[in-house]
């Protein structure tokens, strides 16, 4: 396996990157990879003047993952409830509790001053035959195989929030997500027909925009909402899991939302079709887009990417 990575601080705070990543290539053990995104919108200053930001949260998650996941055997299974799944969930829960208790003082500070993180963890199981993905939040994992890109877990974002509330159907949520993944920030996407929000029909050509900027009248949060995170609330977060077979020539791609919110899925696919360091290529493209104020897709944010070639 060949591994590439890229990380870049947001143009809004170039001196502080709140993303982190973990790469453990195996060395006789099961390889483990993780993209971690600190929640930088929440931060506070301690009595001693120290700033606690998403950077501290993401680095704490990274530290726990390194400590807890470097010794999985190469033949560990990817089965539901199996050893790999149990170990990853336990590690994420331990990271969650550390952030909650150590950085957020066990719930002793206001919610709007709490820090947190989201993460996607992938374990290469069964001697390189299958991937186990465990995700909390809206970082993404993709498998690129035979020119097809497969998102390994759904985003826990504003679309998923409305689906879980029963306000939006799974089918309409998928239509919105497809548009958001394909919109290049310049050209009007094809958006025909209607969707139903809270029982009321709306023209799709209007409605998809609400999921970018929010709509207070319809209680649609903006695109920056995350409905599941590490460290914010006392109970352990419920993670998402997926399993998929992997073959020689496949590529695993992990990224924070700073990458995929700036690039379309077609742009990500095109980058993965190229040989070499696709992590840097796609990361630099996302960073350039984040500075393009004329592009409506432009999103200033930290950017992390990991590419693993099998």
> What is the value of pTM for the model shown?
0.95
pLDDT at position 113 is 87
**At CA 212, angle to CA 5 and CA 294, rounded to 5?**
75
pLDDT digits (tens, 9 = 90+) for 121-153: 999 999 999 999 999 999 999 999 998 999 999
Query: How many CA atoms lie less than 13 Å away from 137 in the CB half-sphere?
Result: 27
Short-list 13, 21, 41, CA closest to 279: 21
pLDDT digits (tens, 9 = 90+) for 190-234: 999 999 999 999 999 999 999 999 999 999 998 888 999 999 999
Taking alpha carbons only, the member of 182, 180, 147 closest to residue 273 is 147
Other beta carbons within 10 angstroms of residue 133's beta carbon come to 26
Question: Cα–Cα distance between 269 and 103 in angstroms, integer?
Answer: 38
Domain ranges in the chain are 2-155+228-309, 159-218
Stated length of the chain? 310
User: What pLDDT score does 42 carry?
Assistant: 64
List pLDDT tens digits, range 74-119: 999 999 999 999 999 999 999 999 999 999 999 888 888 899 999 9
May I ask the CATH class of domain 2-155+228-309? alpha beta
């Amino acid at each position: 396996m060949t591994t590439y990575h890229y990380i870049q601080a947001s143009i809004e705070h170039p001196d502080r990157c709140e993303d982190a990543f973990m790469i453990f290539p195996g060395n006789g053990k099961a390889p483990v990879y993780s993209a971690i995104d600190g929640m930088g919108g929440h931060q506070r200053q301690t009595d001693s003047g120290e700033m606690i930001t998403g950077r501290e949260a993401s680095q704490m998650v990274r530290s726990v993952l390194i400590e807890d996941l470097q010794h999985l055997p190469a033949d560990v299974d990817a089965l539901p409830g199996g050893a790999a799944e149990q170990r990853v969930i336990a590690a994420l829960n331990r990271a969650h509790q550390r952030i909650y208790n150590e950085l957020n003082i066990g719930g002793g500070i206001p919610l709007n001053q709490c820090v947190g993180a989201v993460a996607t963890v992938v374990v290469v199981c069964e001697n390189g035959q299958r991937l186990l993905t465990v995700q909390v939040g809206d970082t993404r994992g993709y498998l690129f195989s035979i020119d097809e890109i497969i998102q390994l877990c759904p985003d826990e974002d504003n679309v998923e929030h409305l689906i879980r509330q029963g306000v939006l159907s799974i089918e309409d949520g998928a239509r919105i997500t497809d548009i958001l993944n394909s919109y290049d920030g310049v050209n009007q996407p094809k958006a025909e027909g209607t969707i139903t929000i809270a029982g009321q029909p709306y023209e799709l050509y209007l409605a998809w925009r609400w999921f970018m900027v929010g709509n207070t009248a319809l209680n649609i949060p903006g695109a920056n909402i995350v409905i599941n995170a590490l460290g914010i609330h006392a109970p352990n977060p419920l993670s998402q899991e997926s399993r998929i077979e992997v073959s020689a020539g496949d590529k695993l791609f992990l990224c924070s939302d700073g990458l995929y919110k700036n690039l379309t899925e077609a742009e990500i696919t095109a980058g993965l079709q190229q040989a070499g360091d696709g992590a840097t290529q796609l990361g630099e493209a996302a960073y350039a887009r984040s500075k393009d104020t004329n592009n409506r897709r432009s999103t200033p944010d930290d950017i992390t990417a990991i590419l693993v070639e099998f």
